[in-house]
Structure 1
Amino acid sequence: MSVTVLIILVTAGISVWAWNNPTIMDRWIMNPYRVASRGEYYRLLTSGFLHADWGHLIFNMLSLYFFGGFIEQVFGLLFEGSGALYLIGFYLVGILVSDIPSFLKHRNDPGYNSLGASGGVSAVIFAAILFRPLTPIYLYFIPIGIPGFIFGALYLAYSYYEAQRGRGNVNHDAHFYGALFGIVFMIVVYPLVLPQFIEQIAGWRPF
């Protein structure tokens, strides 16, 4: 079994468990106020294994499935013999890092909660885009694919804009900072990915 599939199964299992056990949901959800006032820093990580509903869970896990397999192969080549451990660590740190801005922004708000694997999933997606920037990405049922590097730029701009607005229930900060973490991590561990990325997009033509 691949590490990506294992992460998906564990996340799905914990999410369903929490839906049927309100105590677990309350104890593990990301509540910045409780983190700050009670020192419950574990919530920065456990919240990444919780989801609001089936739609939220399926969307995140499908995204992880489509991109995680490729990054799993990349890590297997970069860290021979330790690729699985690096992928798990990369994913978990992506969740952790992406929750820090939300923690700092809402640590005095007892009513704010956040959950979902979006930070870790965004890290995986953007790591994949660095290696394959021209691979088309399809949104929902739109039949026209958007090249990865264009999708990535639009995604970052939209996430940043919505995070600044601060409206709605979606944690756009987690999307934005999870994506940035994925980009920075890959450039640090494999610097050649940046010139390769630039070379690929420089040769791209829309028609």
Structure 2
Amino acid sequence: MRNQQDQRSYLTMCGRYTLSVTQRPELNALGLQTADRFNIAPGSSVLTRDEQGEHRMMPWDFSPPWAKKPMHLSNARSETLREKPAFRRTQRCVLLADGWYEWQRVEGKKRPWYHHIEGELLYFAGLYNDTSGCAIVTRSALDTVAPIHHRQPVLLEARGVEHWLQGHDLFASAVTHRVQCHEVSTRVNRPSEDDIGLTLPVSASIPESPPGNEDLFQ
């Protein structure tokens, strides 16, 4: 029971996100992610940039090398990043995105919201190791994000990406203050759903689905 509690303490927030590449020639030309993705879930192979400046696909599924069983961590709290044994001696990366989903708890129900900056490319601070995959670093939510969920990904400015990859802790940037969000269909609860309609403002014409185990950004 103690091990389960310790593992849960490593979990943080961001549980689903998006990345479109077909309208971004510089990403499309990489030939790594070949289709737009509108419901990227933990365990997926995701587009990243490592500390060498190389773009590569990694599993969004982190476990420390010493773990006897996979821990399947998707997030890492910035506040305790250097304290938790699971995240010591890790390598750094950024995950490329253009939006993410968060679930707001209202009267016992979970309402999904899409967070974005009008389609701009976003850089999530991340950690990885070559024996498993990567995790998104998170922090306390700010501004318009906070009423939806108490956690958010650590967003990096383009000019801060190299500093993060070189080992500097950058847990706050002006990027967060530009984030917009709107409620979307609960279809996003199903990882099998993957279309641009998931990012659109909620409409009565869009079929809904029951809540699932999507609240991973803690």
TM-score bracket relative to the smaller structure: under 0.3
Q: Give me the TM-score of the superposition, normalised by structure 2.
A: 0.24
**Larger fraction in helix:** 1
**Larger fraction in strand:** 2
Larger Rg: 1
